[in-house]
Amino acid sequence: MRWSEDESLGGEVAFGPTVTTWEVDQLEVFAVFPDGQLWDRYWDGQGWHDWETLGGSLGGPPAASSWGADRLDVFAPGTDGRLWHRWWDGNRWVDWEQL
């Protein structure tokens, strides 16, 4: 077994990236782009899906985790200096909440 060649995932990253896995052969990459929004891109075991915005007004690097199948949590500092959280509940991305 050997490492694959480098592969560009595109996008213009201001903060991050961070990555987590939420199931076998599933990866989710998160980054804050220069527009201050959180963007994500995921690997479904076959290929990468396009970047999509998750919104926000962020001013620092995100952190991501998963504690079960179909559950993703992302945390990032806002431009307001507060910590913000957004999560995937298995069906949809739940709106940002301030912690």
Report the percentage of the chain scoring pLDDT > 70. Answer: 100
| 48 SS3 class | strand
What's the CATH code, domain 15-98?
A: 2.40.128.190
Domain boundaries, the chain: 15-98
Token output for 60: 């620092």
Q: Does the pLDDT of residue 78 top 90, yes or no?
A: yes
Residue 93 pLDDT grade (very low, low, confident, very high; cuts 50, 70, 90): very high
Instruction: Specify the pLDDT at position 76.
Output: 98
Instruction: Label each residue of 17-60 as H, E or C.
Output: EEEEEEECCEEEEEEECCCCCEEEEEECCCCECCCEEEECCECC
